[in-house]
Amino acid sequence: MPIYEYKCAKCGHLFEYLADNISDQAAKCPKCGAKKPVRQLSLFSAAEGARSGGGCSSGSCPTGSCSTGSCPF
């Protein structure tokens, strides 16, 4: 199941949403409850494409979150 990242158009809160069979319209901001968030490029998809090269230790993690220790690699 793809996990998409959304950004709330109202408060700007970023959150992930597991897109099962539910349409984008079902997603809503967990913070303020606003509907119709803007879908962002999936971090997981981006990571999949970059898995063949680079890595956290090289500082080339596509998520840019290596320093936080949250990089999936």
For Zn ion, which residue of 26, 34, 49, 57 counts as binding (CB under 5 A)? Answer: 34
Residue 13 found at the interface with Zn ion (CB under 5 A)? yes
Greatest Cα pair distance, the chain, in angstroms, is 39
Collapsed DSSP state (helix, strand, coil) of residue 22: coil
User: How far apart are CB 64 and Zn ion at their closest, in Å?
Assistant: 23
Residue 32 found at the interface with Zn ion (CB under 5 A)? yes
For Zn ion, which residue of 4, 8, 17, 27 counts as binding (CB under 5 A)? Answer: 8
- Are the beta carbons of 73 and 63 closer than 8 angstroms? no
